[in-house]
């Protein structure tokens, strides 16, 4: 289980700079949800879906991440 969490942290570190739109936050949330569900022996697809929804929903909420941009 610890190996999975370390691998997850290393693979998601490059995403930390591009969490400025709902799609990238949703993708990062889906990856986090899948990894947590796998570590807890739960349904990975459900974990990814819930994590993706939670990640995309944080765009309007101040959680310490940069504000979401609607266009580039």
In a domain, 70, yes or no: no
The whole-angstrom separation of Cα 46 and Cα 28 is: 15
* Long-range contacts formed by 7-14: CB under 8 A, 24+ apart: 8/32, 8/35
Q: What is the pLDDT of residue 20?
A: 73
Number of structural domains (the chain) is: 1
Q: 58 by DSSP, 3-state: which?
A: helix
In a domain, 51, yes or no: yes
Residue range 35-58: mean pLDDT, rounded: 88
In a domain, 28, yes or no: yes
Supply the range of the domain harboring residue 52: 20-56
Q: Which tokens is 34 given?
A: 């899948």
pLDDT, one tens digit per residue, over 16-33 is: 556 677 788 888 888 889
* Whether 53 contacts 30, CB under 8 Å: no
pLDDT, one tens digit per residue, over 46-55 is: 999 998 898 8
pLDDT, one tens digit per residue, over 4-18 is: 777 766 766 665 556
């Amino acid at each position: 289980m610890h190996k999975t969490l370390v691998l997850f942290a290393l693979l998601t570190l490059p995403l930390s700079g591009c969490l400025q739109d709902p799609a990238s936050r949703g993708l990062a949330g889906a990856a986090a949800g899948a990894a947590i569900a796998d570590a807890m022996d739960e349904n990975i697809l459900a974990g990814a879906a819930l994590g993706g929804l939670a990640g995309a929903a944080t765009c309007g909420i101040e959680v310490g991440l940069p504000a979401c941009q609607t266009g580039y």
